Amino acid sequence: MPTALITGASRGIGRRTAELLAQQGWDLLLTARSADQLDQLGAQLRDQGVSVASAAIDLTQADAIGSAMADLLQQGATPAVLINNAGAAYTGDLMAMPLERWQWLLQLNVTSVMQVCSAVVPSMRKHGGLVINISSHAARNAFPQWGAYCVTKAALASFTRCLAEEERGHGIRACTLTLGAVNTPLWDAETVQSDFDRRAMLSVDQAAETLANLVMQPSNQLIEDLTLMPAAGAF
97/118 Cα distance (integer angstroms): 29
Res. 186: pLDDT tops 80: no
Edge-to-edge order in the sheet of strand 27-32: 52-56, 27-32, 3-6, 81-84, 129-136, 172-179, 225-228
Domains and CATH numbers, the chain: 3-228 (3.40.50.720)
The pLDDT confidence band at residue 192, using thresholds 50, 70 and 90, is low
Mean per-residue pLDDT, 125-149 = 94
Mean pLDDT score of the chain, rounded to an integer? Answer: 94
Instruction: Pick the closest to residue 175 from 224, 106, 229 (CA basis).
Output: 224
In single-letter form, the type of residue at position 153 comes to K
